[in-house]
Amino acid sequence: MSKGSALIVGVGPGLGLALARAFARDGNPVALFGRGAVRLDEYASGLVAEGRTANAYQADAADPEALRSALVKAADELGAPEVLVYNAALLAPDKPIGLDARDFARALAVNVTGAMVAARTVLPLLPDGRGSLLFTGGGLALDPSPDYSSLSVGKAALRAYVQSLYKQQQDTGVHVTTVTVAGYIGGDDPRFTPEALAAAYLDLHHQPQGWWQAELLYPDHPAFGPAPRC
C-alpha cells in the first residue's frame, strides 16, 4: 500500500534536510517547506535523483495564509499526508530587556503561531483521521536562556500548545508529540547529529499507539543517560 506524504516545514541544511531524507527513504512522498526557494529546489532535486518523490514549496512560516496555502497545495500534488513535522524556528540572540516588540512578535509567529496554523491545516487532511503531527521543541523550554529570550519563550509556548493538542487528540488516531531537543544540534555529540535526530522522529511516527506520549525528551533514554538542558 502506498504511503501518505510527509510535510516537513522548516527545511534547512541541518535537521530539516535530514528529516526530509529520512521520510523520503522510508517511502513517503516528501514536501519541503521553507523561505529559500533555490535551496529547497536543490534539496528536492537531490532526493528525486535518488529515486524519491519530493517537491519544494516556498512559504514563510510567519505568514499564516501563505503557509496554509502551501500545505494544501502539497497535499493536492503529493497525496494526503500521513505526517507533519513542524521544524521551523527563528533563532536569534536577544535579551529579556531591550527586545523589539515587532521582532518579538515575528519570532513568536514563526516559533508558535506557524505550528498552530500547520496543525489546523493538516489535521482535516489526514486520511481516516490517522497520522502523526511532530514538532521540534528545545531544551530552552525547560531552562530558558537570557541570551535567547524570544526563542526560550517560543519553545515553552510551543511545548504547551503541543501538550494541549495531544490531550485533545489522545482518543483519536492522531499521534501528537513534541521532540524536546536538549542539546546542540550538529555539535560534537554524535547523539545530536541531524541524522540521529531524524531517525528518532521516524521512530516516533512508527511508534505503536499504546506508546504515544505528548513529549519525547531527547535523548533522555536508558541507552543515552540524561541530556544537558541547553
- The sign of the torsion formed by the CA atoms of 97, 103, 109, 112 equals negative
In the predicted model, is pLDDT for residue 89 greater than 50? yes
Q: What letter would DSSP give residue 187?
A: S
pLDDT in tens, 176-223: 999 999 888 888 889 999 999 999 999 999 999 999 999 999 986 433
Task: Give the whole-angstrom CA distance, residue 87 versus residue 31.
Answer: 13
Residue-level pLDDT at 223: 34
pLDDT in tens, 134-148: 999 999 999 999 999
Residues 175-187 as b/e (b if ≥16 CB within 10 A, e otherwise) read bbbbbbbbbebee
Residue-level pLDDT at 1: 57
Q: Answer for the pair 216, 204: CB distance below 8 angstroms, yes or no.
A: yes
pLDDT in tens, 53-84: 999 999 999 999 999 999 999 999 999 999 99
Residue-level pLDDT at 98: 84
pLDDT in tens, 10-30: 999 999 999 999 999 999 999
Residue-level pLDDT at 2: 83
Residue-level pLDDT at 228: 35
- In order of 6, 101, 227, the CA distances from 105 in angstroms are 28, 6, 30
Task: Give the whole-angstrom CA distance, residue 182 versus residue 13.
Answer: 20
Task: Give the whole-angstrom CA distance, residue 209 versus residue 162.
Answer: 17
Mean of all residue pLDDT scores within the chain: 93
Chain centroid to CA 138: 11
In the predicted model, is pLDDT for residue 150 greater than 60? yes
Residue-level pLDDT at 18: 98
Q: Which three cell numbers stand for residue 115?
A: 505550528
Residue-level pLDDT at 81: 98
> What strand order describes the sheet that includes 30-34?
54-58, 30-34, 5-9, 81-86, 130-138, 173-181, 215-218
Residue-level pLDDT at 74: 98
